[in-house]
Amino acid sequence: MSQLFTPYSIGPLRLPNRIAIAPMCQYSADNGEATDWHLMHYGNLSHSGAGLLIIEATAVEPEGRISPADLGLWSDATENALGRVLTAVRSHSSMPIAIQLAHAGRKASNHVPWQGGGLVPPSEGGWPTVAPSAIPFQPNEPAPQALDQAGLDRVLAAFVSAAQRAQRLGIDAIEIHAAHGYLLHQFLSPLSNQRDDQYGGTLENRLRFPLAVFAAVRAAVPTLAVGIRISATDWVAGGWDVEQSVVFAQALRELGCDFIHVSSGGLSPQQQITVGPGYQVALAERIRRESGLPTIAVGMITEAAQAEAIVASGQADMVALARGILYDPRWPWHAATELGAQVVVPPQYWRSLPQPGIRVK
């Protein structure tokens, strides 16, 4: 029996298999509000056969968007727009749905990728950014504003409010974004956090604000699965690394974390990454072994046999697909065919299945 296609639970949420769709920004929202693009995009992915669909990085306040076109969940308007998408998706799919709640910090206010990226100046609709310390992401960028206590309180409250909105929408799980150089990751790394108060300096202090955000969200939605995505290393000497990630994961477990989604990088343009198939899996394996948290591995996992081996060998409890499932939205169907497993396929598509091929539930 394929281990990749066995059921698995993250906290109270039972999943039909070990395949997650990683959150992938679509840069297609209107003032934070989901649009018809999201309806088509998530409707499509909801029939992929994956065990969990994680909605893209969703800003908890307008200033936390990576770009002006980012999805948000900070107001009744953004909540209602996302609710319209979810209602349509759920009318035709039973796939469990999570959402990644995020704040971009100093990496906010950027052009969308297909417009070249880079900071959007205020004259073009951009906004000042915030961070743990007044250190820009790129040397030629304006320095972000270092968050004071009032700012920290505002951001924490925004995460809590967004989590409560997600719960009202019936979302099944929340993933807090502490990876890829965004705000919570900025607090973790000594490269971006050079504060001299209780939130900076020692590892204990650098963990303090991300742990406070997690604890507040966990308390606000006690019946939901709540996990986190981290970058296990900055890939920069003297930065955040896997040893510190293990300590963070152990602290998260004590706070009731239901899963940890292990990525890497994104904090510094000085990062040196050797990319290859499954290049982040060893990071996930170590964090899983030393923290005991249910762990999702991600990063160039492209083949069914590769994904099966990761789960079957205990390197991770689940695998997540990102670019690969954008390229092939039926990847789980094809993996099930190869591994002799079953996935949920809508009856409208049954005539497309190979004979012999995947079996439907």
Helix locations, the chain, DSSP H? 36-45, 76-90, 149-168, 183-188, 203-220, 242-254, 281-291, 304-312, 323-327, 331-339
State yes or no: cis peptide before 294, omega within 30 of 0.
Answer: no
SS3 of residue 15 by DSSP = strand
CB 57 within 8 A of CB 266: no
| 257 within 8 A of 228, measured Cβ to Cβ | yes
Provide the terminal-to-terminal Cα distance of the chain, rounded to the nearest Å: 16
- Per the annotation, the verdict on 199 as an active-site residue is no
Q: Residue 6 carries which DSSP code?
A: S
Closest by Cα among 44, 57, 43, 54 to 19: 54
What six digits make up the tokens of 42? 């998530």
H helix and E strand count, the chain: 10, 14
What does the alpha-carbon distance between residue 126 and residue 51 come to, in Å, rounded to a whole number?
37
Q: β-strands 359-360, 173-178: how paired?
A: unpaired
Phi, psi angles (nearest 5°) of residue 46: -70, -10
Whether the CB-CB separation of 304 and 298 falls below 8 Å is answered with no
Cα–Cα distances in Å, from 225 out to 22, 174, 201, 219, 221? 16, 6, 31, 11, 8
The active-site residue out of 8, 182, 199, 327 is 182
Catalytic site positions: 182
